[in-house]
Amino acid sequence: METQLYQIKDPEKDAAILQKAAEILRRGGLVVFPTETVYGLGGDATNQNAAMAIYAAKGRPSDNPLIIHVATPTEAEPYAVTSDTYYRLARHFMPGPLTVILPKKDTIPLSVTGGLDTVAIRCPDHAVARALIQAAGVPIAAPSANRSGKPSPTCAAHAAEDLTGRVDMILDGGDCEVGLESTIVKLEGDRGILLRPGAVTPEDLRRIIPNLSIAPAVTAALGEGERVLSPGMKYRHYAPTAPLVLLEGEETHVRAFLIEKAGEAGVGILCFDEEIPVMPKNATLFPVGKRADLETQAHRLFAALREADATPHLERLYAHLPPMEGLGLALYNRAIRAAAHTILHVT
């Protein structure tokens, strides 16, 4: 399959490109598009064949459900059983990096929801994504636009690396602002369960859902044979080629440990920007931002891991264990998966 690649900055000026993309979606084809979280691999959410094509292009098991992207919160009505809590969340966080799981209606084929009777709804906060949904006139089912087993793409080049020849079109709208996938919350009546942390934090959500619970799999390793609430939790997550070890402990101890390791052959370090000057000159560093700047760390994490994977002769990677509060929880969740839960306490 030939993949067309277009840069798109302004949905109004580039309306002709959006029309082409919309036509592809309406006839069951696949379009990669930018959102504020990560790039999405989109197909018509009401078309069973489009869903199958998404799974095939990603190399993803078809029981791992897709998120449905709509342009405004009320556009979820034909597809999901909405509630007061949904609209209260929508008022605060939509459009934005929040996905809400609701009971599904028959308009969404079971192949899109991996056979579940619930559906994931998101309203992306990105001009190109919203213009594309509107131009298509159908909701867009989209997982992250990476091949299964790779990190989510935070720029068009990452998506192109993974999906060229497997999709009809890639829309390049520049770097994704957030850089981590959306927060996922499942609503059951007025109860809410956090299934995946993201840029909308548990603290944000508790202002609307005071009794929000956090699924154990968000922070812990899954026990053998344990049941999961979100199918995505059970799959082996992306891990870099060089095994990643996360470090926790006092700042001075961790820094001394890193300086020592950085001098060794085959070692790469996902370091804070302020650590760059103190590291040995020959160190292989992948800076992720300042220690206190979790936004930048979220923005850079997946790109840093892709860079590490593209660096020859790396045998081990070290990174700081993120804090478990605020946006830190989303970083923590992605980091422990990439590290296969390997945490080293440095004393």
**Contact positions toward ligand AMP, by CB under 6 A?**
64-65, 67, 101, 113, 116, 118-120, 143-144, 181, 184, 195, 230-232
CB 39 within 8 A of CB 171: no
Q: Nearest approach, Cβ of 282 to ligand AMP (angstroms)?
A: 37
Tell me how far apart the alpha carbons of residues 277 and 307 are, in angstroms, rounded to a whole number: 20
> Rounded to the nearest whole angstrom, what is the least distance from the CB of residue 58 to Mg ion in the complex?
8
**Does 144 participate in binding Mg ion (rule CB under 5 A)?**
yes
Q: How far is the CB of 33 from Mg ion (least distance, A)?
A: 15
Residue 46 site contact among ligand AMP, Mg ion, none (CB < 5 to 8 Å, cut-off depends on kind): none
- The alpha carbon of 60 is separated from its chain's Cα centroid by a whole number of angstroms, namely 15
**Which does residue 64 bind out of Mg ion, ligand AMP, none, counting CB within 5 to 8 angstroms by kind?**
ligand AMP
**Which one of ligand AMP, Mg ion, none is in contact with 118 (Cβ closer than 5 to 8 A by kind)?**
ligand AMP
The answer to whether 270 and 283 have CB atoms below 8 angstroms apart is: no
Residues in the chain: 347
Residue 222 C-beta: closest distance to Mg ion, Å: 17
| C-beta closer to ligand AMP: residue 90 or 283 | 90
242 in Cβ contact with 231 (< 8 Å):
no
Please say whether the beta carbons of 178 and 299 come within 8 A: yes
- Taking the least distance from each CB to ligand AMP, the nearer of 45 and 195 is 195
Which CB, 104 or 147, lies closer to Mg ion? 147
The residue (of 105 and 345) whose beta carbon lies closer to ligand AMP is 105
Q: Which of 57, 1, 59, 5 is nearest to 34 (CA)?
A: 5
CB of 8 to ligand AMP, least distance (A): 21
Whole-number Å distance between alpha carbons of 36 and 43: 18
Cβ neighbours around 114 below 10 Å, total: 18
Contacts of 252 (CB under 8 A, 6+ apart): none
Residues forming the site for Mg ion (CB under 5 A):
144
